[in-house]
A and B are shown apart, each in its own frame.
Chain A
């Protein structure tokens, strides 16, 4: 089974600064998708960014970008120009054939943004 590990239970960043959240995963598949979801206090899971494993180019969505290292099975999220509204739980998730296309989530990283 695929496992997703987020080694940072909590992170803190100052407004306007940059922060990187780490994620590693274990898989024997070559074709899969990786996602970062944000869960604010409302508890609704919001998709932040996604990465196709077959694409070497790192995905970018405005202030959010990823560093995808397929050989190292690493998928980190960089948030630039952090804003107060970025404060939330961030979950890394894996989706592939062997899991029946179910999302496998990491335990999450709680991000605190300070003024």
Chain B
């Protein structure tokens, strides 16, 4: 059974550009969430999607957005990139939303560097 797959793994963008990251959850998982990891702020929750609907959102500016498709695959987009957006972006999937006990499985992340 394939794990959570994230693409691209590494990318470099210029300030002001926009970027789209993709995530394919584990087969059968319908909940996808995104986290940002930086040395200064640690791991921070971005948003969670279930059945193509955003169910929860973290404290990030509107430049960060996402969506989920009918096959549960998800994309996140960051517009007008800033240097501070350089981070590891982790995607995670779980069977269902709204259940604290469901195990959340993570992908290997997408490394974004903004120059």
Cα distance, A96 to B102, chains bound together (Å): 11
Interface size on B, residues (CB 8 A): 25
Q: Bits for A30-71, please: 1 = Cβ < 8 Å to B, else 0.
A: 011101010000111111001010000000000000000000
Nearest-CB distance from A3 to chain B (Å)? 12
Question: Which residues of chain B (56-82) have a CB below 8 Å from chain A?
Answer: 56, 58
Q: How far is the CA of A40 from the CA of B92 in the complex (A)?
A: 17
Q: State the interface size on chain A (CB cutoff 8 A).
A: 27
Task: Provide the bound-state CA to CA distance between A101 and B99, in Å.
Answer: 7
- Given that A43-B88, A102-B56 are known contacts, is A50 also in contact with B98, CB under 8 Å in the complex? no
Residues of B within 8 A of A (CB): 33, 35, 37, 42-43, 45, 48, 55-56, 58, 88, 90, 92, 97-101, 103-109
List 8 other contacts, CB 8 Å, given A101-B100, A103-B92, A105-B42: A35-B104, A95-B100, A95-B104, A100-B48, A100-B55, A102-B58, A103-B33, A106-B42
